């Protein structure tokens, strides 16, 4: 009779909880399963585009267009139509992503300023 399978080196023991791990990924402030607001907007926009493609493709198939041409024309039509019809959700997603990037840049700049030594500050003052 074989015992339990051997764990690979470095893997946590079954008795330890995942929250007790000290890996860098587990110490971040946001959880991996929770999408951020910008991510939700991109997902919503992608679903709208996919829905538009499927509707156009199904309509073309129902009127008798061959499958390959229905997919090609559906993709082209939905791509062009989404530029105009889905401009609002696309712009909202872009604004959310840009705001997140600006927050990250500000935090990174603040962290770098905190790490600077007094000598570096003095050197920059003389430049």
| In-domain check, residue 29 | no
pLDDT at 110: 84
| In-domain check, residue 52 | yes
pLDDT tens string 23-67: 444 344 444 445 555 678 888 888 999 999 999 999 999 999 999
| In-domain check, residue 102 | yes
| In-domain check, residue 4 | no
| In-domain check, residue 3 | no
Domain count for the chain:
1
| In-domain check, residue 120 | no
| In-domain check, residue 106 | yes
pLDDT tens string 72-124: 999 999 999 989 988 888 888 888 889 889 999 988 888 887 777 666 666 67
SS (H, E, C) the chain: CCCCCCCCCCCCCCCCCHHHCCCHHHHCCCCCCCCCHHHHHHHHHHHHHHHHHHHHHHHHHHCCCCHHHHHHHHHHHHHHHHHHHCHHHHHHHHHHHHHHHHHHHHHHHHHHHHHCCHHHHHHHHHC
Which structural domain range is residue 84 located in?
35-115
């Amino acid at each position: 009779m074989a015992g339990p399978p051997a764990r690979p080196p470095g893997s946590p023991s079954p008795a330890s909880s995942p929250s007790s791990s000290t890996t860098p990924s587990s110490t971040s402030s946001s959880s991996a399963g929770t999408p951020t607001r910008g991510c939700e907007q991109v997902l919503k926009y992608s679903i709208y585009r996919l829905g538009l493609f499927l509707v156009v493709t199904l309509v073309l198939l129902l009127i008798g267009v061959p499958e390959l041409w229905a997919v090609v024309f559906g993709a082209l039509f939905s791509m062009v139509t989404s530029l105009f019809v889905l401009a609002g959700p696309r712009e909202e997603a872009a604004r959310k992503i840009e705001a997140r990037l600006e927050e990250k840049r500000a935090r990174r700049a603040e962290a770098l300023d905190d790490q600077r030594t007094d000598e570096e500050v003095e050197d920059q003052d003389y430049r």
